A and B are shown apart, each in its own frame.
Chain A
Amino acid sequence: MGLNLRDKYLNFYSSDDSNLSIKERYLTLSRSFLIIMLLVTIVPLSITTALSYFQYRSLIRQETINNAQWNAESTRQGIESFIDKLRAMIQVVSESYRYKDLSVQENLDKVFENLKSKNKGIVDLSVIGPDGVQQAYSGPFNLKGKDYSDSPWYQKTLTRKVYVSEVFLGYRNVPHFVIAISKKVSGENGYWVLRASIDTDTLDQFLAGVRNENLVDAFLINSKGALQSSSHNYGNVSSQSPVSVERLPKNKDILTVENKQGSKSMVNVVARINESPWFLVLEQYGYADKKTWVLFKRELLVIYVVSFVVIICLTFFIASFLTSTVRKEEETREIILAESEHANKLASIGRLAAGIAHEINNPLAIINEKAGLMKDLLQVSNDFKYKDKFLMQIDAMENAVKRSRTITHRLLGFARRMDIKLEPVDINSVITEVLGFLDKEAAYQEIRIDQDLQPNLPDIMSDHGQLQQIFMNIINNAIDAVGNGGIIQISSRQIDTKTVRVDICDNGPGMPPEVLKKVFEPFFTTKKGSERQGTGLGLSITYGLIKKLGAKISASSEVGIGTTFTILIPIRSVSAEGGTDR
């Protein structure tokens, strides 16, 4: 109940933080703004950045896998085509010649030369009879008469009719693979075999041709992981590679696996070479080492960091701007509330004062008349011993009544709500008139009044009488403050097109801040006990009048230096009550 408007206002804004100082409250507000704004900016920025990162990573990863698969697929098709071509060549020879014809060395040599001219990878050509013994041989090695009846490739050729072998060393002890075709010997039960040996360098050269900037290694392996071509990473033919084909399902021709080799991400593709015992293995760099991905990551990081810094700076700026705006608004509201509170207080006190003055004036009038009558009677009565003393007492009573009357009349003046009579007023003239009233008083106390009035001040629309009252009150106060030998300086200036400023400075004792902030309060006086006792209403009335005229008053003071009252009067006066120009 005892809270004033300002407290209520402050509590309204910070019911839970009432123990916090204003500075802490604004700090909390600023911090809240900052956190909220950072949340609504940084979080979406981070989410967008993360989404971009993962989405692009997914795209580039898929692209890398697709690229590796496409490479593997095209390489596989190339190898299959190469094998098909060799097989077709051998098949054509087997179809074109009879066993007997090819068993003749000269004929075989001719055919070999012909094949060799078409494919340099063919190392030799041989004819194996139904007994498994080589009947004719064209090539660099001395293999004629060799018995292959127990060789796995020979057995498989007989079974499958056409056979492409794994890479092996054989009798020649040189890595090679064979393409063999078995045919029935015409007129007999047995089968003869036409066999071509192919140098594994052919495969190496073929695989070397498919290398590109992303490709790390391309090689062939058999079902057990043994190299069928040389490998950049795992050595030469017949060495064991770490790649296992067990994970490749029977019904699938291609398998892609992502893994890491040290700090590098890799994509390994294993593809089955159809109608051969081989599997193609391609090892490519993964997406993580691709230039586009590295570049994208760098750009994304730069954009994120720059955006983050910009957002932080902007957020700090906006948070401080908002806080200072809110603070200014609150301060303005506080001032308005305080002024409204002051005006309400003045109005209440005014009504109270009017009532009190009326009630006191009647008994005062009775005292005054009774004392007066006593004086009248004494004056017509004969002299008696204490007549003069009686008369002196009555004079004292009358003086006391006069003093009381001054007080009650001031109280009524405080309460009075006179209409403002607007007219063109020359401020300098008003000040000069007021000084005319106070000249004698000042001279009596040897007070010097310096005037620094700007000539040709524009006339203002205001109330002449009320302005007189205002200056009278303030200059009177200054005279009381400076005492004997003091100095009062009065200046007037037009500070802009709308305002005239009047300063009244005195070199009196000054006021400490706690006194200064109460000078416009009703019944606040510093003249208690002094010769010229105050009612504490002078400056309060002045304040009320100034507000009524739409003007502003402020006071500054320093103990031991003096006090300055500054009045800002609008050139076109505005009624504070009506709030409109008249």
Chain B
Amino acid sequence: MSKTKVLIVDDEEEFSNTLAERLCFRGFDAVSVGNADKAIAAIRNDWVPDVALLDLKMPGLSGLDTLEMIKKLDLGIEAIMITGHGSTASGIEGMKRGLFDYLMKPVDINELVAKINEAAKKNYDKT
């Protein structure tokens, strides 16, 4: 069974890079990018993530915009929003647009891993 591919989209690169590294430690194929454009670019390079971890507030396109773009690609990618902002409204909005789940920073790695696995399972079940 191939590794679960995880794309981390967050403008806080210190966070996203470290998180990617930790996820790699835990057997994931994790890649981090700093914004939505780079995320789309990464997906088009024949690397389709199973799960995308999106920050809500980013310069340029927001997490919700990125989610919409990913969903438009229709590649079955599940998305989890990880944000430092506590707006439940944005979480609900994300859910409406097909968000798998919503977590608050700082996240517990075990909780995150569990969520990624759930999301990936949902993805596999679809395919």
Footprint of B on A, CB under 8 Å?
A: 354, 357-362, 364-370, 372-373, 376, 380, 401, 405, 409, 411-413, 415-416, 418
Contacts and interface: CB of A to CB of B under 8 A. Distances in A.
B14 to A, nearest CB: 5
B38 interface: no
A372 B23 CA distance: 11
A368 B16 CA distance: 12
19 contacts: A357-B84, A358-B86, A361-B85, A361-B104, A361-B105, A362-B12, A362-B105, A365-B12, A365-B15, A365-B84, A365-B107, A366-B12, A366-B14, A369-B18, A372-B18, A373-B22, A411-B86, A415-B86, A418-B88
B21 interface: yes
B21 A373 contact: yes
Contacts, number: 73
Nearest to B82: A365
A416 B84 contact: no
Nearest to A405: B106
Contacts of A358: 57, 84-86
B25 A376 contact: yes
B42 interface: no
B109 interface: yes
Given A369-B19, A372-B109, A376-B22, A361 B84 contact: yes
Contacts of B104: 361, 405, 409, 412
Contact of B15 (A359, A360, A369, A380): A369
Q: Which 9 pairs across A and B sit closest by C-beta, in order of nearness?
A: A412-B86, A361-B84, A368-B106, A365-B105, A369-B18, A365-B106, A361-B105, A358-B85, A362-B84
Contacts of B21: 373
Given A373-B18, A376-B25, A364 B86 contact: no
Contacts of B105: 361-362, 364-365, 368
Given A359-B84, A413-B86, 12 more contacts: A357-B86, A358-B84, A364-B84, A365-B84, A365-B106, A366-B14, A367-B106, A370-B18, A401-B106, A412-B85, A415-B86, A418-B88
Interface of B: 12, 14-15, 18-19, 21-22, 25, 57, 82-88, 104-107, 109
Contacts of A368: 105-107
A369 B106 contact: yes
Determine which residue in A357, A365, A409 has the highest number of CB atoms from chain B within 10 A of its CB, and name it.
A365
B86 A409 contact: yes
A529 B57 CA distance: 35
Contact of A416 (B22, B82, B86, B107): B86
A362 B25 contact: no
Contacts of B18: 366, 369-370, 372-373
A364 B85 contact: no
A357 B83 CA distance: 11
Contacts of B14: 366, 369-370
Nearest to A409: B104
B16 to A, nearest CB: 9
Determine which residue in B84, B86, B104, B107 has the highest number of CB atoms from chain A within 10 A of its CB, and name it.
B86
B106 A354 contact: no
Nearest to A357: B86
A401 B104 CA distance: 13
Contacts of B57: 358
Contacts of A418: 88
B86 A366 contact: no
A405 to B, nearest CB: 5
Determine which residue in B19, B25, B84, B109 has the highest number of CB atoms from chain A within 10 A of its CB, and name it.
B84
B88 A364 contact: no
A272 B21 CA distance: 143
B109 to A, nearest CB: 5
Contacts of A401: 106
Nearest to B89: A417
A45 to B, nearest CB: 69
Contacts of B87: 354, 416
Nearest to A353: B86
